[in-house]
Amino acid sequence: MSANFVALAYLVAAVLFILTLKGLSSPVSALRGNLFGMTGMALAVLTTLTVHSVQNVTYILIAIAIGGSIGAVVAKRIQMTQMPELVAAMHSLVGLAAVLVAMSAFNNPFAYGIVAHAGDALHSSNRIELFIGTFVGAITFTGSIIAFGKLSGKLSGKPLRYAGQHWLNLGLGIAMIVFGIAFFITPSWTPFLIMTAIALLLGVLLIVPIGGADMPVVVSMLNSYSGWAAAGIGFTLNNNMLIIAGSLVGSSGAILSYIMCKAMNRAFINVILGGFGGESAVADSGDGKQKNYRSGSADDAAFLMGNASSVIIVPGYGLAVARAQHAINEMSHLLSEKGVNVRYAIHPVAGRMPGHMNVLLAEAEVPYEQVVEMDEINNEFADTDVVLVIGANDVVNPAAKNDKSSPIYGMPILEAHKARTILVVKRSMATGYAGLDNDLFYMDKTMMIFGDAKKVVEDVIKALA
């Protein structure tokens, strides 16, 4: 295939990727965006296979078939609650691919068209590209594995901190750069492998000190890293499509990380240097006495919501764990039939990854017009009769507003505490993912309803019907 046709095909694929991002910006157009993305990727892969330098196409097609089959099975079996760790696992594979491609390209640059003749030395720019692509990919690989472990519960969500951790990370970062410079001066396997090993270790050490409350930022940050790793390798391979796709992923992930940090009133550098999320909170009143709270039943909740004029539902990770999204949608329909104005309030970092609650509600076919973002709905809580907090904790914690000693002080929250009546569905009085107690649970106008979220909502539906 001619070079001009390849360039044109890559350009079309790049446009489709841009349309993908635009489509994914709204639940209404998300399906169309995914179709654009799949079409663009298929076009990019097929075009790459036609390039004259690509050999052993049969092996490549076999690998694609195996990987595609595994992906199809995983996509069919994966539960919505497992989506965050699945995303982290996918990021790790992108990082690993970048490292392996860089190693292969360094081992035989002539086969990749990096040098004109076998045995030629790598150009200085190629060494820089290999260095950047390799260390970013290595950090992404091991960092994503740790994130996967924390999100899946295989590792503790609490931050692992130790004396001198920042100095150790700084020292390793400097050592990685030193060996990268050595590789640049004299390209050989020894500095390359040492640099890669340090980067793999750094990926672990950068993520283990980050607590559960900061995990949405970590997920989007690793997404960005995986894109930059792919773009770096794209420069080495002189593949414009890989550069464009990687840059789109990297820049969108960076923008999303910024949005997540802003939503949490956190500086990105503070997240990387060790986030909050492991504090052990005790439910006392400050003088050693246990705090009092009011509990009720599903029947009580049904009566209060059925006789309200407006209800705001605040979903959280507990809703996803209980798989209660379909039940909550059915409950909303019953309330709407009674003339109740029902809306869903979405916090940018609710759940375990950006957009987690939006995806969850979209799966249950909750009407898009009922799903409202935090900035738009916060002014309406004060005029709301009942707020139903189901599975959420940290994103409605008033300590972010009134407790300067709290680690989340200054973080924008859904101001559920301003509503006339607050219903909170939880399994117990245990703290949320950030490990912080919540004063909302002890307010006089709050009623705690203990139990599995899906079971509670189903009981509410029976009472309403």
Query: How far is the CA of 178 from the CAs of 106, 192, 198, in angstroms?
Result: 19, 11, 11
The Cα–Cα gap between 97 and 411 comes to 37
3-class secondary structure, 217: helix
- Rounded CA-CA distance 291/137 in Å is 48
Residue tagged active-site, from 214, 394, 439, 459: 394
Strand 310-315: give its sheet, edge to edge.
371-373, 341-346, 310-315, 386-390, 421-426, 446-450
The angle that helices 215-237 and 124-152 make with each other, rounded to 10 degrees, is: 150
Tell me the backbone φ, ψ of residue 81, rounded to 5 degrees: -70, -20
Residue matched to tokens 């940018």: 348
Report which of 304, 279, 301 is spatially closest to residue 390, judged by C-alpha positions: 301
The angle subtended at Cα 237 by Cα 236 and Cα 241, nearest 5°, is 110
Distance CA 106, CA 29 (A): 42
Q: How far apart are CA 169 and CA 46, in angstroms?
A: 42
Contact, 347 vs 355, CB < 8 A?
no
The candidate with the shortest Cα–Cα distance to 442, out of 318, 336, 286, is: 286
Q: What are residue 423's DSSP bridge partners?
A: 388, 447
Which among 106, 22, 100, 49 has a CA at the least distance from the CA of 239? 49
Active site (annotated) includes residue 439: no
Distance CA 293, CA 448 (A): 7
User: Which residue, 205, 250, 241, 240, is CA-closest to 95?
Assistant: 250
Residues labelled catalytic = 394
